[in-house]
Structure 1
């Protein structure tokens, strides 16, 4: 009887230990925690990661440029980055592969407070604030050309990420790079009525704004697929329960419980990929060509080298 009891106790401990031995996975964010990460936040809220046997450590970066490079160096399992950046990483030969998508819609826009500017072509002779060279310049040039103007018709001014303040102060007539779910809302909350022009409506190939990358050597690791399964659950629950999930987020992170974040949470929900694992190869090919045509990358890299669907 004692032996049976002891055996049962040992078996119970073994089962409990196995259940608690969740596989560790480190996810590096692209920036501090914010509504753009809602599907990940909700997956954690509802225990989806734990249900898949994962112990996910979510880490905001000290430097936004570091997360993909940490994955490339195998110092983190996954990182959130941007599809445009992924093409540059591929061109540089970094061993990074897109395995999932958070936001499958471009968030970048041109925003103005001038009602006479009804399309990008009306920006002739205007000052435009920007914060990132290269891609933003190519994007703006394409939008202008699509609408009967060119880069030579405008004056670009680097406002060092102070996009909305530069616009409201009248330092510039418009800005490029403001997100439709952040800066556009920020201006409305300040009592302004912004005109917003989406990049994909004016000749720029549509792209995935926020993606998840893994190291090429680790793509086949079972925990990567488990993460995506949990992310799908988080996305589905978020769409079904927007108010509940916001309230849980606001309660857990009171420092982020602001009207802007609340509105951004709701505004972002339709922008999240309904199937985070799905890959649109033609979209990646088109954007690769766009960057090559604008001389921002040196060569065309086949999609399968830097993006997969698990």
Structure 2
């Protein structure tokens, strides 16, 4: 018997007791002494024993019902936390160097960190830091030399993560040119603001003074400038991918790394924030860097699967040139994006002072931070 049926049975017993205890003429045994006159009707009466039984049932204390052990109604779903939106501008058009961002998006790392990340490609390579300084975007990608130079010029920039922790640029020229000492004449193409410094430093090692008139800003069209023989060399911020692309076009090139020709080692690709917004964005940046780190480690552990996911989600990256450059690029990705090497930034500051680009060195804390500190 279930607990809910006990009160019902008790109520039925009460009704039955009252009915059985009620007697009326024609229902009870006939009284031989009663008047035979049908007009003489006896008053109905209740059996005293039935009344007592009914009273006992009424006064009996009902057993309490046990609490329900389950509910037929499904629980209300728990709403996921709202996603924090971040607008991030790339330093170049979408390329292999952005693999951690693509993989983090496709593998759900951003979602798990409650982030909605919008990746934007710039119309011009000089646009990202300008928009960041104007607080029209949240974060921007760039290079360590760029950070030093533009912050010295008054841009409120600060490094918050490193995505490629070694120099990735340098001079790229046609294979039939003997070497850097052959660049005493002719024009050099560049696409980003810190490239002239790199080119001047590298040629100074060969005793060549590079006049500003020999530098041509070609923005995104560095490969076309070299293919069309408009210039003798290009200052490539990401030389290996450009070299692979030119090889696919039929032009063999030679790459001279910047760090082997006069420049101190530097971070080849960094993430920058606005100094005045850093405190408010710190938690979001921590979550973002965690997502990028997990995507990078997965790519290192599963390079073929990472390549397949990369080109499936971004078909424009699926080329023979990028396939050849993928192992090189993968080896350059920073496995600890948040980690900061203060000595590296101090050395580059001293280098800029020696080159006459700065009056004095600045504290590293003005230039770069570890978002987890």
- TM bracket (short chain): 0.7 to 0.9
* Matches for 1:56-205 after TM superposition, within 5 Å: 56-115=117-176, 117=178, 119-120=179-180, 122-123=181-182, 125-132=184-191, 135-146=194-205, 148-151=206-209, 156-158=214-216, 160-161=218-219, 162-177=221-236, 179-205=238-264
Q: Cα RMSD (Å) of the superposition?
A: 2.9
Deviations 1:255-280 (A, max 9, x none): 34322333343331111112111111
- C-alpha distance in structure 1 between counterparts of 2:123 and 2:234, whole Å: 26
SS of residue matched to 2:214 = strand
Moved more, 153-162 or 192-201: 153-162
Name the counterpart of 1:33: 94
- C-alpha distance in structure 2 between counterparts of 1:222 and 1:48, whole Å: 16
TM-score under structure 1 length normalisation: 0.84
Name the counterpart of 2:8: none
Deviations 1:113-142 (A, max 9, x none): 24461x42x325442422258743332332
**Contact 2:191–2:222 (8 Å) recurs in 1:** no
- C-alpha distance in structure 1 between counterparts of 2:151 and 2:212, whole Å: 32
Give 1:203 deviation, angstroms: 1.4
| 1:24 equivalent among 85, 89, 93 | 85
SS of residue matched to 1:238 = helix
SS of residue matched to 1:26 = strand
TM-score under structure 2 length normalisation: 0.71
Indicate yes or no: 2:281 matched with 1:228: no
Moved more, 69-78 or 224-233: 69-78
- C-alpha distance in structure 1 between counterparts of 2:186 and 2:152, whole Å: 32
- Report the count of equivalent residues: 301
Give 1:244 deviation, angstroms: 1.6
Give 1:101 deviation, angstroms: 0.9
| 2:301 equivalent among 240, 243, 254 | 240
1:132/1:182 Cα in 2 relative to 1: closer, same or farther (>3 Å)?
Answer: same
- C-alpha distance in structure 1 between counterparts of 2:299 and 2:141, whole Å: 19
**Contact 1:33–1:60 (8 Å) recurs in 2:** yes
Question: Which 5+ residue runs of structure 1 have no aligned equivalent?
Answer: none
- C-alpha distance in structure 1 between counterparts of 2:306 and 2:174, whole Å: 33
**Contact 2:133–2:157 (8 Å) recurs in 1:** yes
**Contact 2:126–2:193 (8 Å) recurs in 1:** no
Moved more, 254-263 or 282-291: 254-263
Higher alpha-carbon Rg: 2
> Which structure is higher in helix share?
1
- C-alpha distance in structure 1 between counterparts of 2:193 and 2:317, whole Å: 32
Name the counterpart of 2:42: none
1:239/1:163 Cα in 2 relative to 1: closer, same or farther (>3 Å)?
Answer: same
Deviations 1:49-86 (A, max 9, x none): 12222222222234443333433344332221221221
**Contact 1:188–1:194 (8 Å) recurs in 2:** yes
The structure, 1 or 2, with the larger RCO (C-alpha pairs under 8 Å, 6+ apart) is: 1
- C-alpha distance in structure 2 between counterparts of 1:137 and 1:288, whole Å: 17
Question: Which 5+ residue runs of structure 2 have no aligned equivalent?
Answer: 1-66
Which 4+ runs in 1 deviate beyond 4 A? 4-8, 152-155
1:254/1:93 Cα in 2 relative to 1: closer, same or farther (>3 Å)?
Answer: same
Name the counterpart of 2:48: none
1:291/1:6 Cα in 2 relative to 1: closer, same or farther (>3 Å)?
Answer: farther
Name the counterpart of 1:257: 318
SS of residue matched to 1:24 = strand
Give 1:308 deviation, angstroms: 0.5
